Chains A and B, each alone.
Chain A
């Protein structure tokens, strides 16, 4: 893997340069009990349980592909991507469909929460204690009540393959 925080500036534009409300709105989701969020602007859809076709030879993190109203969406399992243990049998995944570079990807999370407005000023850098596998995909953390919310770097999450 490359160095962690080298996100392309243009991809971060919605969060940084546009100071509208929408840009600071985040969709929360949880992965293995950890609260995290992705920018709402990049989210196209949230889906329940889907039929996912396995793709042989694909990177381990790619769960497969699914059909979203005639468009093919590639599913990336966040647990696998973040180096977490797989879901137990019977536990289902939710699909957060994001669009990056004209392509649709589904981020498989355990649960999808709500839409929050998070101010960029309140964002704290990654704490030293943050797990290395999270650090790579974290743009920073926000305090939400008594828990920490990790802002996920979608581009980095999808920087798979060769």
Chain B
């Protein structure tokens, strides 16, 4: 049953419930004009609505009844008991039909002829043959009743499923519940202080009921966001007429629910942004045609839940923001200098449009640009504890992302202490709590250059000491080696907030901070705790931004940066870069082998003889098409995977970069072709795995000739049992100018030693048959010709424990598999003394 019909049924049932009573009242006092008007209105509404919904039976009866009522109202026909009986039978007929509608979703079959005839007769002033009507009505009623009965049994009949409640009542309830929650918290606090309180058990019960009540009241306030979007299709249609643009509006996630209050508050900003997209974002059909786009522009609204927030995106595929124009305006308005702009990322420059009085529209149109700019939108959204951001690419479009709390009212929060002050962190953003330091073999805070990191289950988490970002420390005391790390996720980025102590969680009533504090982005609000003290609520978003954590990679474009700089690595999983080139299955290459991803301007690609080159970082880089039939774009951009470094770089041209996935590699060498190692299943799809060394040779014949380093090329022994991994490692090392020998396991490696082979360095896998990496290291260190040779362990298991074990066995360094850069750096580092001598 669609919503419209359901609403109609609810409304009609409400109307019918009062209709009988009103008719009886009218019978007693035919002169009561107010009651008559009410009856007339009810029947008229039913007629009007069912004409619209396509319910002919209901409409027919209502129409006939309305005629009679109309004459009564005008006073041209006296109200008679016989007439009342007729209208009452009509009301009964409404109920029958509606019962059928509720049960089946369509009008039940039946003949209303006699009833309508009787009503028409009454309207024309004839005496109503009431009995006859009642008689003829019975069979009709009987045909309908079985269904109606069935329905009664199942759904409780036509008792309304929903009731209307004034919003004020709900608001009042919410306020009361909020206060109740606070009082409960206060009581709990007191009870904790008591040793053996007699009221502990009932208090527990009270607490539970309060929580349930709170949930219940919250539910009454939730509404699908689609309600706020209802007016937008019409708005867009009108805009498209006014502006002479063709616009298609797509709405996703309309059933995402959020608090009514929040929804009311975002309605206007939302409308403004859609207007903006249509007016400034999208081009005219002619402009779009000229740039090779579809004439019809697209505005996409998307809503989804993320943590305790709802994310709303308003995107268009229009011209995108004009960075140069924004720059010019920024300088003209004195918001920043040219020099400052030069150091800013494009995205930061785009963010200037959120400044007060900033509008880039060249002319003021009737639609927007009336002085109400994005700054107002931003202020309105921030007022409810939300954030707004944008990503824009010239000629590709602009997407605004609004992140707002699901509800403004109550949230669970973790109470922490840093620098002697307490703070609340919304539970929604907290993934886990880790205790660091304090002895034992728990996770430890490590340092990469100046910044602290936490190694947690193979992942490196950047750490943000709370007392530093909040400047709570007078003098830098002991390093944050002890304390707790609150692991938080913001826009896909994990990071840890370091605090001194953690108390418990508490339900807090979120209150916005005073306007004079709103510029502090670290806080999303403040609240009063159970003990009556005021504390600030931290905003993980603001903290991440203030600490300069890379949050840029939230949407397309950003993924590339993220891909190459990512430090996250799942155990036994390999990060694969998926891309498309040529026909057939998607292709993949381990991300660790790719130095960079580039989008090269097609105009920069040059042809020398048979091959393609591009000027890249000061040298000529050969470009190899992955699919020989691939056509080079005349204009636009060419996606290129760059392998190698500096003057040894080579680019592989692909059609489209799809994704980066972390997946377990299970190779199938079936259908082997040159250039591919085989295929594996990624995300349920067969994917061809690139043989990197094959393609490197295509690019430069001399690829595997080492660069002239210091005269002699260092000799590297690689012990690795898997063909696949060998295929990955060897090209990377060779490309860096090393002479590589490979063996399958530790036993074979030792045979080489006994045969008198000399190597400058050994790279070994840990898990190998016959003699594993640890065994090999021990054997090497025990004595013999290789006792001084540096050894690098290469393994997918790189927990601190594993590293420790490796070092104890005699490895000089321990590298996670596929960390190409780390491996090369380690090689260089280990060989430094040798090269110097």
Interface, chain A (partner B; CB < 8 A): 51, 53-59, 62, 64-67, 70, 72, 74, 76, 101, 103, 105, 158, 160-162
Binds A, one of B50-58, B127-135, B239-247, B516-524: B516-524
Which 8 residue pairs across A and B have the least CB separation, nearest first? A56-B470, A161-B516, A74-B514, A160-B516, A162-B519, A65-B534, A53-B534, A57-B520
Complex: A65 Cα to B536 Cα, angstroms = 9
B511 at the binding interface (Cβ < 8 Å): yes
> Chain A residues with Cβ under 8 A from B182's Cβ?
70
- By beta carbon, the residue of chain A nearest B182 is A70
- By beta carbon, the residue of chain A nearest B526 is A72
> Chain B residues with Cβ under 8 A from A105's Cβ?
514, 516
Contact in complex: A58, B511 (CB < 8 Å): no
Contact of B517 among A51, A54, A101, A161 (CB under 8 A): A161
Contact in complex: A56, B472 (CB < 8 Å): yes
Contact in complex: A56, B471 (CB < 8 Å): yes
> Chain A residues with Cβ under 8 A from B518's Cβ?
161
> Interface digits, B508-550 against A, CB 8 Å rule (1 contact, 0 not)?
0001011111111011001110001111100000000000000
- By beta carbon, the residue of chain B nearest A103 is B514
Q: How far is the CB of B390 from chain A (nearest CB, A)?
A: 21
Contact in complex: A56, B516 (CB < 8 Å): no
Contact in complex: B533, A67 (CB < 8 Å): yes
Contact of B421 among A53, A103, A160 (CB under 8 A): A53
Q: How far is the CB of B812 from chain A (nearest CB, A)?
A: 45
| Interface-central residue, B179, B419, B472, B519, by most chain A CB under 10 Å | B519
Complex: A62 Cα to B514 Cα, angstroms = 11
> Chain A residues with Cβ under 8 A from B517's Cβ?
55, 58, 62, 74, 161
Q: How far is the CB of B309 from chain A (nearest CB, A)?
A: 23
> Chain B residues with Cβ under 8 A from A103's Cβ?
514-515
Contact in complex: B516, A158 (CB < 8 Å): yes
Q: A72-B534, A76-B516, A158-B516 are in contact. List 12 more A-B contacts (CB 8 A).
A: A51-B533, A55-B520, A55-B523, A56-B421, A57-B471, A59-B516, A62-B517, A70-B182, A72-B514, A72-B528, A105-B514, A105-B516
- By beta carbon, the residue of chain A nearest B521 is A57
Complex: A101 Cα to B516 Cα, angstroms = 12
> Interface digits, B166-198 against A, CB 8 Å rule (1 contact, 0 not)?
000000000000010010000000000000000
Complex: A55 Cα to B525 Cα, angstroms = 12
Q: How far is the CB of B517 from chain A (nearest CB, A)?
A: 6
Contact in complex: B519, A161 (CB < 8 Å): yes
Complex: A94 Cα to B536 Cα, angstroms = 23
> Chain A residues with Cβ under 8 A from B534's Cβ?
53, 64-67, 72
> Chain A residues with Cβ under 8 A from B536's Cβ?
53, 55-56, 65
- By beta carbon, the residue of chain B nearest A104 is B514
Query: Count the B residues whose beta carbon is within 8 Å of the partner chain — how many?
Result: 26
**Binding site secondary structure of chain A:** loop
Q: How far is the CB of A132 from chain B (nearest CB, A)?
A: 22
Contact in complex: B515, A161 (CB < 8 Å): yes
Contact in complex: A54, B516 (CB < 8 Å): no
Complex: A161 Cα to B519 Cα, angstroms = 7
> Chain B residues with Cβ under 8 A from A64's Cβ?
534
Contact in complex: A58, B520 (CB < 8 Å): yes
Complex: A44 Cα to B766 Cα, angstroms = 73
A55-B536, A57-B520, A67-B533 are contacts. A101–B515 as well, Cβ < 8 Å? yes
Q: How far is the CB of A117 from chain B (nearest CB, A)?
A: 31
Complex: A142 Cα to B516 Cα, angstroms = 30
- By beta carbon, the residue of chain A nearest B528 is A67
A59-B516, A65-B526, A161-B516 are contacts. A53–B535 as well, Cβ < 8 Å? yes
6 contacts between A and B (CB under 8 A): A55-B520, A62-B516, A64-B534, A66-B534, A67-B532, A74-B517
> Chain A residues with Cβ under 8 A from B179's Cβ?
70
Complex: A72 Cα to B511 Cα, angstroms = 8
Contact in complex: B522, A56 (CB < 8 Å): yes
> Chain A residues with Cβ under 8 A from B527's Cβ?
72
> Chain B residues with Cβ under 8 A from A56's Cβ?
419, 421, 470-472, 522, 536
Q: How far is the CB of A34 from chain B (nearest CB, A)?
A: 23
Complex: A53 Cα to B421 Cα, angstroms = 8
Q: How far is the CB of B335 from chain A (nearest CB, A)?
A: 13
Complex: A105 Cα to B527 Cα, angstroms = 15
Complex: A95 Cα to B471 Cα, angstroms = 26
Complex: A64 Cα to B526 Cα, angstroms = 11
- By beta carbon, the residue of chain B nearest A161 is B516
Q: How far is the CB of B692 from chain A (nearest CB, A)?
A: 49
> Chain B residues with Cβ under 8 A from A101's Cβ?
515
Contact in complex: B516, A57 (CB < 8 Å): no
Contact of B528 among A55, A57, A70 (CB under 8 A): A70
Q: How far is the CB of A80 from chain B (nearest CB, A)?
A: 13
> Chain B residues with Cβ under 8 A from A72's Cβ?
511, 514, 526-528, 534
> Chain A residues with Cβ under 8 A from B419's Cβ?
56
Complex: A57 Cα to B520 Cα, angstroms = 7
Q: How far is the CB of B776 from chain A (nearest CB, A)?
A: 54
Complex: A58 Cα to B513 Cα, angstroms = 11
Q: How far is the CB of B469 from chain A (nearest CB, A)?
A: 9
Complex: A136 Cα to B520 Cα, angstroms = 25
Q: How far is the CB of A97 from chain B (nearest CB, A)?
A: 12
> Chain A residues with Cβ under 8 A from B472's Cβ?
56
> Chain A residues with Cβ under 8 A from B516's Cβ?
59, 62, 74, 76, 105, 158, 160-161
> Chain B residues with Cβ under 8 A from A53's Cβ?
421, 533-536
> Interface digits, B438-476 against A, CB 8 Å rule (1 contact, 0 not)?
000000000000000000000000000000001110000
> Chain B residues with Cβ under 8 A from A54's Cβ?
421
> Chain B residues with Cβ under 8 A from A55's Cβ?
517, 520, 523, 536
> Chain A residues with Cβ under 8 A from B511's Cβ?
72
> Interface digits, B555-593 against A, CB 8 Å rule (1 contact, 0 not)?
000000000000000000000000000000000000000
Q: How far is the CB of B514 from chain A (nearest CB, A)?
A: 4
Complex: A67 Cα to B532 Cα, angstroms = 7
Q: How far is the CB of A66 from chain B (nearest CB, A)?
A: 6
> Chain A residues with Cβ under 8 A from B533's Cβ?
51, 53, 67
Q: How far is the CB of B498 from chain A (nearest CB, A)?
A: 15
> Chain A residues with Cβ under 8 A from B528's Cβ?
67, 70, 72
Q: How far is the CB of B274 from chain A (nearest CB, A)?
A: 29
Q: How far is the CB of B545 from chain A (nearest CB, A)?
A: 13
- By beta carbon, the residue of chain A nearest B183 is A70
Complex: A58 Cα to B471 Cα, angstroms = 11
> Chain B residues with Cβ under 8 A from A67's Cβ?
528, 532-534
Complex: A57 Cα to B515 Cα, angstroms = 14
Q: How far is the CB of A77 from chain B (nearest CB, A)?
A: 13
> Chain B residues with Cβ under 8 A from A59's Cβ?
516
Complex: A57 Cα to B534 Cα, angstroms = 16
> Chain B residues with Cβ under 8 A from A74's Cβ?
513-514, 516-517
> Chain B residues with Cβ under 8 A from A158's Cβ?
516
Contacting residues of chain B (402-441) with chain A, CB-CB under 8 angstroms: 419, 421
Q: How far is the CB of B566 from chain A (nearest CB, A)?
A: 31
Complex: A56 Cα to B417 Cα, angstroms = 13
> Chain B residues with Cβ under 8 A from A76's Cβ?
516
- By beta carbon, the residue of chain B nearest A58 is B517
| Interface-central residue, B421, B472, B511, B520, by most chain A CB under 10 Å | B520
Complex: A56 Cα to B513 Cα, angstroms = 13
Complex: A103 Cα to B532 Cα, angstroms = 19
| Interface-central residue, A54, A57, A74, A162, by most chain B CB under 10 Å | A57
- By beta carbon, the residue of chain A nearest B418 is A56
> Chain A residues with Cβ under 8 A from B421's Cβ?
53-54, 56
Complex: A59 Cα to B516 Cα, angstroms = 8
- By beta carbon, the residue of chain B nearest A102 is B515
Q: How far is the CB of A11 from chain B (nearest CB, A)?
A: 14
> Chain B residues with Cβ under 8 A from A57's Cβ?
470-471, 520, 522
Q: How far is the CB of B492 from chain A (nearest CB, A)?
A: 26
Q: How far is the CB of A105 from chain B (nearest CB, A)?
A: 7
- By beta carbon, the residue of chain B nearest A74 is B514
| Interface-central residue, B470, B471, B514, B536, by most chain A CB under 10 Å | B514
